[in-house]
């Protein structure tokens, strides 16, 4: 009776009781979340003629005393992404949660068509977060996941960490799904995403990195027989036999309206990023420079960058002029001298070195611009700069030309470099 | 003094009400319509809404102890007062459903993917009813207590966004006509001062404390404008893809990935502010019902709210998209009425009363 009186006095107690009755019994009898849901940490999407294959690098939480993480690659095939995901869920025996997916790898073939069509279901409906790192590969995406799984177990390096380095130092923007969409919906519908490839362990490791002298990095994997096993659309995946390695040369791919139009080397990326003040640390090498009676190869690191940019329309021509102050640090000298004192004899930057560096940087920029012009892909934001600074003239100019995509062809770049020894 | 709220509490109520329906979905919807000029539309709406505040204070000074319903009845006849109150009831009900729908979808996506709406209703409705039955003072006191948490959470979300890559949004890209049509189209989520008009008799008015009310109003406006601006600066062209503005200021930043799910801060902020907003809508509805039907018990008023809420939600609305679409397409006039027409009516009444006093 006292209890009833208490309930009458405080009707919220009844509410509390009802809530407990509704929530507690199902919570007690239902299985744990890890039994119902599989946590996906990376996604790979492949496509052959008429079928998608979607692969998941999954992490199934199991109570253990050690910190080791059990990963496995699971895949499903289907005519659509939704169907493939459904089939993968059947293989896994769990619902798939994509909110923890840090990396999404798509096979090059998907980029032959507008890739946004393929990933629409994942990002819009299946809760794939837009901050997932979005990269492209020439190899089957499934194999990349399998290899990355063992990369993690052997050297503790995750795929997203490798790409995050590229994003910070080469692309100078996130290579995320969000960044892809930002480019996709921009005035020139152009985006830039990271590029990885898979090679046999004995294969060519240096790739373009050696030829460009940019010191591309190569991540080595010791095999791919960790937790997968079976392949072919069932649990597990990957070759299981041959030893593969993920090759990261700092390359990227240029997309126009979601389609792959050009592969870009690290050098191209440096050219593209010349006008990006955040982009520093690149190495510029000039060879066979006459200095103090000898010939040397000099390598400088761009330590700091200051940029003043102005845009205008002069006689109906869009002019993009930029004054760059680059603080360069001499990091390496190759020549006849064996014991060179960097801080004394070479602390000054003589005019012949400045001239060569000027030429080298402008050459990189011109090459990069030629690629962007050829593909009508403004990933630098030239359109935006003109729009913001000279809106009226820009709009008029766009009206007068055949297509706004041609705008880059008309822009006259005036780059003035001021090189300082740092 | 009994059952009256202080000017500070009234300010906190308006602070939390201004957040309702504006900090999750609205920035994306407005961007889709007028791009970065949504900030200009927002400033216009808030500036117009701000005019309600001196009108409210004037009304309070002219009618210190009278309920809004009684004032309307006295000057516009009982029938008109009932019609206006019926509009208010509908407005509050739709606002409650809209707030619930948007926040429910957000929570479902973020944490309760397996849950169904009934579970959310079981937890929300009793709290709202309890608040409505307990009265305005307990609601205001609880809000006062939690306002620090809500404000801290909100500022934290804005603060984190500042440390992520931002770019200046493009303004004046839409025509003036489009900007003003967006003011009309998205008028429904505004007009929050209506609630203060409805409780005008319960505010413990002190002339010297008017600045408190102004302070909280301006603070809330600045916070919402900052949220919109940062959101557009962060997402630029993809703003229309992000339906959870406050939470998305924290998420999708590679830089903060190491910390993990930072959006928990946004979740707590949203949960607390939503509970209070829903309590206010429920209270306003019940208060209105009791004025139209003075013999009715407040328990029954709460029961009517629940039944109507459930009926509308299940039978008419059904899902989130329907209610959002309806508020943009069909309910905009209600927003215009609440935001502009009604304050104008009140201003005229206050002037008439002022003249009467002067002649007598």
> For B275-311, what is each residue's pLDDT tens digit?
999 999 999 999 999 999 999 999 899 999 999 999 9
Confidence of residue A287 (pLDDT cuts 50, 70, 90): confident
Q: Domain locations in chain B? A: 7-359
User: Given an 8 Å threshold on Cβ–Cβ distance, is B257 in contact with A102?
Assistant: yes
Give me the pLDDT at residue B305, please. 95
Same domain, A232 and A274: no
More confident call, A14 vs A313 = A313
What is the rounded average pLDDT of the residues A169-181?
Answer: 75
Q: What is the CATH number of the domain that holds A323?
A: 3.30.300.210
- Give per-residue pLDDT as tens, A315-340: 989 999 999 999 988 888 875 555 55
Cα-based distances in Å from A231 to A51, A220, A237: 17, 22, 4
At residue B5, the 3 state secondary structure works out as strand
**Of the residues A264, A298, A323, which one is the last residue of a structural domain?**
A264
Number of H helices, E strands in chain B: 17, 0
Same domain, A77 and A153: yes
User: Given an 8 Å threshold on Cβ–Cβ distance, is B251 in contact with A131?
Assistant: yes
Cα-based distances in Å from A206 to A168, A213, B21, B114, B319: 21, 10, 55, 48, 55
Average pLDDT taken over every residue of chain A:
79
Same domain, A4 and A69: no
More confident call, B71 vs A244 = B71
Confidence of residue A153 (pLDDT cuts 50, 70, 90): low
Shortest CA gap B174–chain A (Å): 13
More confident call, B269 vs A97 = B269
Domain spanning B7-359: which superfamily? Answer: Amino acid/polyamine transporter I (1.20.1740.10)
Domain that holds residue A168: 33-264
Choose, out of B117, B128, B238, B256, the residue to mutate when testing the contact with A (most A CBs < 10 Å): B238
More confident call, B115 vs A217 = B115
Cβ atoms A224, A238 nearer than 8 A: yes
Same domain, A256 and A233: yes
User: Given an 8 Å threshold on Cβ–Cβ distance, is B170 in contact with A129?
Assistant: no
More confident call, A196 vs B229 = B229
Q: Is the pLDDT of residue A145 over 50?
A: yes
Same domain, A168 and A56: yes
Same domain, A239 and A275: no
What is the rounded average pLDDT of the residues A304-322?
Answer: 93
Q: Is the pLDDT of residue A69 over 70?
A: no
Least confident of A90-94, A219-223, A252-256, B74-78: A219-223
At residue B189, the 3 state secondary structure works out as coil
Shortest CA gap A318–chain B (Å): 20
Give me the pLDDT at residue A246, please. 79
Same domain, A68 and A186: yes
Give me the pLDDT at residue A214, please. 39
Shortest CA gap B113–chain A (Å): 10
User: Given an 8 Å threshold on Cβ–Cβ distance, is A182 in contact with B251?
Assistant: no
What is the rounded average pLDDT of the residues A144-158?
Answer: 69
Q: Is the pLDDT of residue A223 over 50?
A: no
Choose, out of B35, B254, B297, the residue to mutate when testing the contact with A (most A CBs < 10 Å): B254
Give me the pLDDT at residue A66, please. 61
- Domain count within chain A: 3
Same domain, A98 and A80: yes
Same domain, A3 and A22: yes
Give the integer Cα–Cα distance in Å for A105 and A194.
9
What is the rounded average pLDDT of the residues A196-223?
Answer: 47
Give me the pLDDT at residue A339, please. 52
Q: Is the pLDDT of residue A208 over 70?
A: no
Shortest CA gap A344–chain B (Å): 40
- Mean pLDDT for each consecutive 10-residue tract of chain B (360 residues)? 85 94 93 94 94 93 91 93 95 93 86 75 87 93 95 94 85 92 94 92 90 94 96 91 88 52 85 94 95 91 94 80 89 91 93 77
More confident call, A241 vs B102 = B102
Q: Which residues of A touch B (CB under 8 A)?
A: 11-12, 15, 18-19, 22-23, 36, 97, 102, 127, 129-131, 133, 164, 167, 173-174, 176, 178, 181-182, 185-186, 384, 387-388
Same domain, A92 and A211: yes
Cβ atoms B199, B288 nearer than 8 A: no
Shortest CA gap B253–chain A (Å): 6
- Give per-residue pLDDT as tens, A348-398: 788 888 899 999 999 999 999 999 999 999 988 899 899 999 999 999 999
Structure tokens at B111: 């944490």
Same domain, A69 and A137: yes
Choose, out of A96, A132, A178, A190, the residue to mutate when testing the contact with B (most B CBs < 10 Å): A178
Q: What is the 3-state secondary structure (H, E, C) of chain A?
A: CHHHHHHHHCHHHHHHHHHHHHHHHHHHHCCCHHHHEEEEEEEEEEECCCCEEEEEEEECCCCCCCCCCCEEEEEEEECCHHHHHHHHHHHHCCEEECCCCCEEEEEHHHHHCCHHHHHHHHHHHCCCCCCCEEEEECCCHHHHHHHHHHHHHHHCCCHHHHHHHHHHHHHCCCCEHHHHHHHHCCCCCEEEEEEEEEEECCCCCCHHHHHHCCCCEEECCCCCCCCCCCCCCCCCCCCCCCCEEEEECCCEEEEECCEEEEEECHHHHHHHHHHCCCCCCCEEEEEEEEECCEEEEEEEEEEEEEEEEEEEEECCEEEEEEEEEEEEEEEEEEECCCCCCCCCCCCCCCHHHHHHHHHHHHHHHHHHHHHHHHHCCCCCCHHHHHHHHCHHHHHHHHHHCCCHHHHHHHCEEEEEEEEEEC
The whole model's pTM is what?
Answer: 0.85
Give me the pLDDT at residue A232, please. 36
Give me the pLDDT at residue A126, please. 74
């Amino acid at each position: 009776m006292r209890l009833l009186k208490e309930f009458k006095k405080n009707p919220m107690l009844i509410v509390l009781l009802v809530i407990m009755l509704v929530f507690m019994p199902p919570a007690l009898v239902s299985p744990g979340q890890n039994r119902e849901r599989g946590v996906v940490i990376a996604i790979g999407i492949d496509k052959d003629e008429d079928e998608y294959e979607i692969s998941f690098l999954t992490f199934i939480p199991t109570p253990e005393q050690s910190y080791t993480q059990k990963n496995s690659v699971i895949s499903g095939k289907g005519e659509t992404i939704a169907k493939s995901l459904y089939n993968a869920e059947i293989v896994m025996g769990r619902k798939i949660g994509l909110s923890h997916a840090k990396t999404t790898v798509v096979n090059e073939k998907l980029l032959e068509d507008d890739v946004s069509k393929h990933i629409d279901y994942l990002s819009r409906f299946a809760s794939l977060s837009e901050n997932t790192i979005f990269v492209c590969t020439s190899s089957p995406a499934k194999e990349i996941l399998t290899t990355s799984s063992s990369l993690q177990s052997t050297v503790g390096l995750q795929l997203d960490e490798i790409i995050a380095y590229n994003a910070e130092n080469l692309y100078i923007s996130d290579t995320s799904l969000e960044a892809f969409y930002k480019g996709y919906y921009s005035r020139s519908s152009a985006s830039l995403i990271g590029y990885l490839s898979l090679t046999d362990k004995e294969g060519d490791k240096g790739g373009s990195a050696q030829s460009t002298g940019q010191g591309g990095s190569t991540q080595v994997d010791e095999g791919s027989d960790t937790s997968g096993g079976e392949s072919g659309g069932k649990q597990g995946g990957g070759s299981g036999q041959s030893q593969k390695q993920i090759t990261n040369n700092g390359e990227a791919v240029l997309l126009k309206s979601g389609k792959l139009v050009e592969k870009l080397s690290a050098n191209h990326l440096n050219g593209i990023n010349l006008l990006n003040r955040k982009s520093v640390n690149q190495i510029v090498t000039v060879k066979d420079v006459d200095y103090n009676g000898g010939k040397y190869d000099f390598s400088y690191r761009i330590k700091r960058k200051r940029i003043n940019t102005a845009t205008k329309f002069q006689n109906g021509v869009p002019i993009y002029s930029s004054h760059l102050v680059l603080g360069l640090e001499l990091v390496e000298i190759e020549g006849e001298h064996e014991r060179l004192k960097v801080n004394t004899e070479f602390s000054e930057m003589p005019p012949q070195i400045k001239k060569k560096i000027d030429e080298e940087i402008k050459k990189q920029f011109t090459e990069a611009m030629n690629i962007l012009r050829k593909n009508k892909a403004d990933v630098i934001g030239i359109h935006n700069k003109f729009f913001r600074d000279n809106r009226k003239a820009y709009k008029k100019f766009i009206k007068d030309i055949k297509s706004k995509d041609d705008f880059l062809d008309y822009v006259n770049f005036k780059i003035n470099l001021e090189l300082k020894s740092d | 003094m009994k059952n009256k709220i202080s000017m500070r509490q009234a300010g906190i109520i308006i602070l939390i009400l201004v957040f309702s329906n504006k900090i999750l979905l609205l920035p994306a919807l407005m961007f889709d319509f007028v791009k970065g000029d949504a900030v200009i539309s927002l400033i216009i709406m808030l500036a117009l809404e701000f005019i309600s505040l001196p009108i409210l204070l004037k009304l309070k000074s002219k009618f210190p102890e009278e309920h809004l319903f009684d004032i309307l009845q006295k000057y516009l006849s009982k029938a008109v007062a009932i019609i206006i109150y019926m509009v208010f009831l509908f407005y509050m009900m739709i606002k409650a459903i809209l707030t619930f729908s948007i926040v429910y979808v957000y929570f479902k996506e973020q944490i309760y993917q397996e849950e169904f709406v009934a579970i959310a209703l079981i937890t929300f409705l009793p709290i709202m009813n309890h608040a409505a039955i307990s009265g305005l003072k307990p609601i205001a006191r609880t809000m006062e207590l939690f306002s620090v948490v809500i404000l801290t959470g909100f500022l934290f979300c804005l603060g984190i966004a500042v440390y992520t890559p931002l770019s200046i949004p493009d303004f004046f890209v839409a025509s003036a006509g489009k900007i003003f049509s967006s003011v009309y189209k998205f008028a429904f989520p505004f007009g929050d001062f209506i609630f203060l008009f409805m409780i005008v008799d319960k505010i413990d008015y002190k002339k010297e404390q008017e600045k408190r009310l102004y302070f909280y109003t301006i603070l809330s406006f600045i916070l919402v404008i900052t949220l919109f601006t940062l959101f557009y600066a962060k997402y630029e062209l993809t703003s229309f893809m992000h339906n959870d503005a406050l939470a998305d200021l924290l998420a999708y930043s590679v830089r903060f990935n190491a910390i993990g799910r930072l959006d928990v801060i946004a979740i707590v902020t949203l949960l607390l502010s939503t509970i209070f907003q829903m309590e206010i809508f429920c209270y306003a509805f019940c208060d209105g019902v009791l004025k139209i039907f003075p013999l009715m018990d407040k328990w029954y008023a709460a029961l009517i709210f629940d039944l109507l809420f459930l009926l509308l939600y299940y039978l008419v609305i059904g899902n989130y998209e329907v209610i959002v679409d309806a508020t943009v397409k069909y309910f905009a006039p209600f927003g215009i009425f609440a935001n502009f027409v009604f304050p104008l009516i009140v201003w005229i009444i206050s002037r008439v009363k002022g003249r009467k006093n002067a002649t007598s």
